């Protein structure tokens, strides 16, 4: 799957988002090391602390299916700016794949690519615990 195809797949998740409070739908597509892709969308809740981001939705789906290593993640939104993963998502992803490629897109399906290590320098992971 090309980078653009992964981004486009993430865009299909925007319509499934539940974002009545922020009105900011987010979609994600996470590619496992085996090539299987797990999708996700953000799910908000009236108790704001219970909300879950699209990236973590895709990650938790993948983990629950037995996938523990990942290649790429696409994160998209309807904003003119790129849709960046939050700090919590960066930390959760770092646990499994610090060298993950992260594609962040704007509403026009244009994207930029970074590594997770670039987005979370000096990340805290399993190796940190010794």
Active site residue 101: no
Among 55, 65, 95, 101, the active-site one is: 55
Residues 6+ apart with CB under 8 A from 18: 41, 42, 43, 44
Nearest to 30 by CA among 96, 86, 121: 96
pLDDT tens over the chain, length 130 residues: 999 999 999 999 999 999 999 999 999 999 999 999 999 999 999 999 999 999 999 999 999 999 999 999 999 999 999 999 999 999 999 999 999 999 999 999 999 999 999 999 999 998 888 7
What is the predicted pLDDT for the residue at 127?
A: 87
Read off the pTM: 0.96
With beta carbons less than 8 A apart as the criterion, state whether 40 and 65 touch.
no
């Amino acid at each position: 799957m090309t980078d653009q195809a992964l981004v486009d797949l993430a865009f299909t998740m925007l319509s499934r988002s539940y974002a009545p409070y922020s009105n900011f739908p987010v979609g994600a597509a996470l590619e496992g090391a085996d090539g299987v892709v797990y999708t996700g969308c953000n799910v908000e809740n009236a108790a704001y602390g219970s909300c879950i981001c699209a990236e973590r939705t895709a990650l938790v789906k993948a983990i629950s299916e037995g996938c523990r290593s990942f290649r790429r993640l696409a994160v998209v939104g309807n904003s003119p700016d790129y849709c960046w993963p939050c700090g919590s998502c960066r930390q959760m992803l770092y646990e499994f794949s610090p060298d993950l490629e992260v594609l962040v897109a704007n509403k026009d399906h244009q994207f930029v690519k970074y590594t997770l290590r670039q987005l979370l320098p000096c990340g805290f992971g399993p190796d940190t615990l010794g």
